[in-house]
């Protein structure tokens, strides 16, 4: 039902009339979310509509809004930059106000200590740009540089192509400022003691352990208003001299850096190569990126993309070109790596060691993609992750299936099934036919190696009913496929869950291997969210589902 005039007036009093809205058209713009059609009735592109959108400008305003939400029993769903449908309200029958955090966009950089303190609407591109000027850089999440740092660090996962060397945000977050659903402020680690933003652990047991784990709370349990992130030394030029023709930007590769595409003859040797990269401590950015276009199409696609005279419709002809066909086979199992050295001597030695490793494993550099033009394109793409439109390039929509994270040996165990599953599901032409392998992902989502994940990019047309239904079927199939080979479900299960009822979801968690996890989280929710203004994006099982001990 619509928000009451009284509650609306109270919101206006907190943030000013210009920063709150209940205009239906504006509300629909917030309900229109990527992936909605996969889980909503009649394949609607709209998630539930919020009753109001409010744009706070400070921690104090967020706190006041949340307290007001408790008074009027309105759910609160914060939204910084959004990514996936769970950024939206989850209920058609429960009033939810959306907090649009765009007014909170300040960055503060402690250059001496390599720490950035950011508000929720600071995106990675902004932080990266400011950091580079100062000789620092930062981990940019896989979802791209247009995403909020706070959302990634505090509320979701925070891994990306640089996580292998730089650490993911789970490792890099140095302090979090959290407004609980009851409206209290919790600050983690040294920040809570008033000692600064440099240590996210403790005092004693780490309070941050309550706030985020493998996942953050995805807007389901309060609002994050600031966080601090550890920066990483940048050995390259601080003026970031980008060139090239839009959208194929190029960044010259500094004398202390290298940008390569490497390839393996088979998945066994792909895994061997990953392990040797870990053991030899090579790599600054390490990601299987280009393959998101699909192994059958990727070389042609990227050569088209970087050639200003070509367009998307040229891809089929390029694929048929014998030279490109040969290249397609050469880099069928490939990935990108950017090396960074402390000095010229250091990078030259890294280069030698990489050559040794390639020789030992029978792998190779893909020369065409290591040429100057492609190396410079690779450099800017991987360093900045600013080409996220590519994710949607084939037909306007994509699903990420699989993406279970583990060691290279473990991950290679699901690759054949993931490939066969996509080839099967795309056979009738309702999903983009790219060869079965459109898997991409980090060389390691955890610093130092050991946490590979491969996400299968399944492209569908969200405005075509048959294609959308094929996408849904693929997600269901991927779950079945994974279970059939002894692997847990992947990202697709998280996507689909958005369309399930609370009851169905709670029952699933109650049947988990360790339901205690969700009992613990329910008790945390009871403490911090007594009026239930959050939603089940913070996973818990209500008492009635509590399994017997």
Partner 1 sequence: MEGLKQALSGVVGDANVFDDPAVLESYAADQSFVLPIRPKAVVRPGSEDEVQALVVWANQTGTPLVPVSSGAPHFYGDTVPSAPGAVMVDLSRMNRVLKIDVRDRMAVIEPGVTYEQLRPALAAEGLMLVSPLAPRADKSVVASLLERQPTLVPRMNYALPEPLRNMGVVWGDGTRFSTGESGNSVLDIDAQWNAGRRLTDPKGPAQTDFFRLLTGAQGTLGIVTWASVRVQLIPGAKKTMFVTTDTLDDLVDLSYRLTRLRVGDELLIVNGTYLAALVAADGAEAVALRASLPAWTLIIGIAGRALRPEQRVAVAEQDIAAEVAARGLKLQNAVPGVAKSRIEAALEGVAPEPHWKLRAKGAVADIFFHTVLENAPGYLATMVDAAVAHKYPVADVGVYLQPQHQGVSYHMEFSLPYAADDKADAARTRALYSDASTRLMAEGAYFSRPYGEWADPVYNRDAAAKDALRTVKAILDPNNILNPSKLCF
Residues 422-481 that bind partner 1 (CB under 8 A): 445-451
Query: Is it true that the peptide bond before 155 is cis, omega within 30 degrees of 0?
Result: no
The end-to-end CA distance of the chain, in Å, is 40
Binding of partner 1 by 531 (CB under 8 A): no
Query: Is it true that the peptide bond before 203 is cis, omega within 30 degrees of 0?
Result: yes
Residues touching partner 1, count (CB under 8 A): 83
| Residues whose CB is less than 8 angstroms from the CB of residue 326 and which lie 6 or more positions away in sequence, other chains included | none
Among 28, 60, 92, 184, binds partner 1 (CB under 8 A): 184
Return the closest-CA partner of residue 454 out of 399, 398, 401, 403.
403
Site for partner 1 in 14-73 (CB under 8 A): none
The nearest distance, CB 196 to partner 1, in angstroms, is: 7
Integer Cα distance of 111 and 97 in angstroms? 37
Which residue, 294 or 451, is less far from partner 1 as judged by CB? 451
Largest CA distance in the chain: 72
Whether 538 contacts 522, CB under 8 Å: no
Among 181, 189, 397, 421, binds partner 1 (CB under 8 A): 189
Among 129, 186, 370, 493, binds partner 1 (CB under 8 A): 186
Binding of partner 1 by 150 (CB under 8 A): no
The span of 12-20, 43-51, 113-121, 466-474 binding partner 1 (CB under 8 A) equals: 113-121
Among 185, 393, 395, 494, binds partner 1 (CB under 8 A): 185
Tokens representing residue 181 in the block: 């659903």
Binding of partner 1 by 249 (CB under 8 A): no
Among 413, 433, 464, 546, binds partner 1 (CB under 8 A): 413
Query: Is residue 131 helix, strand or coil?
Result: helix
Among 352, 463, 480, 484, binds partner 1 (CB under 8 A): 352
Tokens representing residue 242 in the block: 């980008």
How does DSSP classify residue 34? T
The nearest distance, CB 199 to partner 1, in angstroms, is: 5
Which residue, 136 or 305, is less far from partner 1 as judged by CB? 136
Among 5, 18, 513, 544, binds partner 1 (CB under 8 A): 513
Among 12, 171, 321, 373, binds partner 1 (CB under 8 A): 171
Binding of partner 1 by 280 (CB under 8 A): yes
| Residues whose CB is less than 8 angstroms from the CB of residue 93 and which lie 6 or more positions away in sequence, other chains included | none
The nearest distance, CB 28 to partner 1, in angstroms, is: 30
Tokens representing residue 131 in the block: 């950091």
Binding of partner 1 by 187 (CB under 8 A): yes
The span of 1-9, 11-19, 258-266, 510-518 binding partner 1 (CB under 8 A) equals: 510-518
Binding of partner 1 by 486 (CB under 8 A): yes
Q: From its phi and psi, is residue 41 left (phi > 0), alpha (psi between -120 and 50) or beta?
A: beta
Site for partner 1 in 373-412 (CB under 8 A): 405-407, 409-410
Binding mask 289-328 for partner 1 (x = CB under 8 A): ----------------------------------------
Residue 110 backbone dihedrals phi, psi, to 5 degrees? -95, 95
**Residue in this structure with the two tokens 């909503």, named with its chain if needed:** 40
> Where do runs of H (alpha helix) occur along 43-168?
59-72, 124-133, 149-150, 163-166
Q: How far is CA 348 from the centre of its chain?
A: 33
Which residue, 320 or 349, is less far from partner 1 as judged by CB? 349
Whether 432 contacts 446, CB under 8 Å: no
Binding mask 130-149 for partner 1 (x = CB under 8 A): --------------------
What is the pairing mode between strands 243-245 and 334-340?
unpaired
What is the pairing mode between strands 96-100 and 52-54?
parallel
Binding of partner 1 by 514 (CB under 8 A): yes
Binding mask 191-220 for partner 1 (x = CB under 8 A): -xxxxx-xxxxxxxxxxxxx-xxxxxx---
Among 39, 47, 115, 116, binds partner 1 (CB under 8 A): 115
The nearest distance, CB 297 to partner 1, in angstroms, is: 31
Binding of partner 1 by 357 (CB under 8 A): yes
Binding of partner 1 by 490 (CB under 8 A): no
Query: Is residue 283 helix, strand or coil?
Result: coil
What is the pairing mode between strands 364-365 and 185-187?
unpaired
Whether 127 contacts 231, CB under 8 Å: no
Among 24, 241, 316, 488, binds partner 1 (CB under 8 A): 488
């Amino acid at each position: 039902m619509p928000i009451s005039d009284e509650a609306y007036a109270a919101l206006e009093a907190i943030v000013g009339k210009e920063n709150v809205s209940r205009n239906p058209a504006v509300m629909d713009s917030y309900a229109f979310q990527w992936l909605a059609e996969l889980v909503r009735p009649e394949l609607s592109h709209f998630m539930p509509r919020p009753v109001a959108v409010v744009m706070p400008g400070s921690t104090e305003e967020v706190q006041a809004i949340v307290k007001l939400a408790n008074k009027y029993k309105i759910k609160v769903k914060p939204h910084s930059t959004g990514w996936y449908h769970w950024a939206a309200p989850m209920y058609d029958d429960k009033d939810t106000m959306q907090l649009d955090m765009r007014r909170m966009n300040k960055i503060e950089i402690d250059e001496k200590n390599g720490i950035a303190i950011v508000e929720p609407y600071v995106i990675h591109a902004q932080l990266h740009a400011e950091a580079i000027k100062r000789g620092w850089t930062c981990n940019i999440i896989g979802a791209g540089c247009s995403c909020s740092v706070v959302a990634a660090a505090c509320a979701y996962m925070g891994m990306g192509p640089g996580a292998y060397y730089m650490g993911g945000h789970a490792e890099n977050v140095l302090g979090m400022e959290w407004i609980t659903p009851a409206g209290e402020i919790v600050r983690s680690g040294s920040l809570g003691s008033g000692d600064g933003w440099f240590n996210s652990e403790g005092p004693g047991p780490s309070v941050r352990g309550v706030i985020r784990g493998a996942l953050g709370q995805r807007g389901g349990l309060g609002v994050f208003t600031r966080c601090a992130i550890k920066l990483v030394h940048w050995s390259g030029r601080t003026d970031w001299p980008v060139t090239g023709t839009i959208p194929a930007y190029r960044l010259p590769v500094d004398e202390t850096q290298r940008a390569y595409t490497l390839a393996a003859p088979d998945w066994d040797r792909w895994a061997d190569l990953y392990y040797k990269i870990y053991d030899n401590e090579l790599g600054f950015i390490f990601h299987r990126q280009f393959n998101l276009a699909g192994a059958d199409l990727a070389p042609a696609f990227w050569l088209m993309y970087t050639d200003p005279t070509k367009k998307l419709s040229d891809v089929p002809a390029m694929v048929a070109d014998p030279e490109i066909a040969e290249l397609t086979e050469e880099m069928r199992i490939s990935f990108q790596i950017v090396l960074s050295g402390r000095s010229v001597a250091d990078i030259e030695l890294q280069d030698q060691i990489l050559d040794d490793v390639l020789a030992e494993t029978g792998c190779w550099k893909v020369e065409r993609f290591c040429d100057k033009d492609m190396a410079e394109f690779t450099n800017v793409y991987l360093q900045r992750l600013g080409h996220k439109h590519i994710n949607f390039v084939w037909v306007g929509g994509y699903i990420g299936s699989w993406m279970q994270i583990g060691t290279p040996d473990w991950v290679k165990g699901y690759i054949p099934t993931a490939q066969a599953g996509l080839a099967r599901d795309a056979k009738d032409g309702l999903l983009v036919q790219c060869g079965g392998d459109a898997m991409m992902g980090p060389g390691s989502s955890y610093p130092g190696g050991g946490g590979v994940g491969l996400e299968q990019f399944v492209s569908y047309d969200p405005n075509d009913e048959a294609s959308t239904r094929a996408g849904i079927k693929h997600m269901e199939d991927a779950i079945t496929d994974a279970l059939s080979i002894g692997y847990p479900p992947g990202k697709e299960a998280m996507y689909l869950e958005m369309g399930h009822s609370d009851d169905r979801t709670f029952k699933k968690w109650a049947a988990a291997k360790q339901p205690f996890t969700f009992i613990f989280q329910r008790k945390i929710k009871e403490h911090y969210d007594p009026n239930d203004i959050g939603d089940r994006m913070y996973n818990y099982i209500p008492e009635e589902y509590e399994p017997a001990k």
